[in-house]
Structure 1
Amino acid sequence: MGWEYRKSLKFGPLRLNLSRRGVGHSWGNRAFRVTKGADGRKTLSVNLPGGFHWRKTLSGSR
């Protein structure tokens, strides 16, 4: 098992995610968030009260 590094920095609605694989960023709040990962994948997430959530990969590799 190898070591992993992960760090998240928040600047209001913008979050910068640092990892060994690279830099990703996301924008939004708890209910609605758009993310671009270090691998280039773009994801849209919607979270509703009561534990309901929906996630869609918009582009990039899986």
Structure 2
Amino acid sequence: MGWSYRKSIKMGPFRLNLSRGGVGHSWGNRLFRVTRNADGRRTLAVNLPGGFHWRKTTSGHS
């Protein structure tokens, strides 16, 4: 297993994610979050009380 790097910087509801693969960002709170990864993938996540969650990831390629 190789080494990896990941650092997350929080600025209110906005989060900047730094990794070896590049820079990504996300916006939201514990219930609803939108994320854009360094490779261009987008993820929409909804987390409900009681352990229910829904997540949808779309490719960054057109």
TM-score band, normalised by the shorter chain? over 0.9
Match of 1:11 in 2: 11
| Unaligned residue ranges in structure 2 (runs of 5+) | none
Give the distance between the partners of 2:21 and 2:28, measured in 1 at CA.
23
Deviating 4+ runs (over 4 angstroms):
none
Q: Once superposed, what is the RMSD of the aligned Cα atoms? A: 1.1
Give the distance between the partners of 1:2 and 1:59, measured in 2 at CA.
26
* Number of equivalenced pairs: 61
The secondary structure found in structure 1 opposite 2:10 is strand
Matched residue type, 1:14? F
TM-score, normalised to structure 2, is 0.92
| Unaligned residue ranges in structure 1 (runs of 5+) | none
Identity, in percent, stands at 80
Matched residue type, 1:6? R
Give the distance between the partners of 1:12 and 1:6, measured in 2 at CA.
19
**CA shift at 1:50, angstroms?**
0.6
Match of 1:55 in 2: 55
**CA shift at 1:60, angstroms?**
1.9
Match of 2:39 in 1: 39
Match of 1:24 in 2: 24
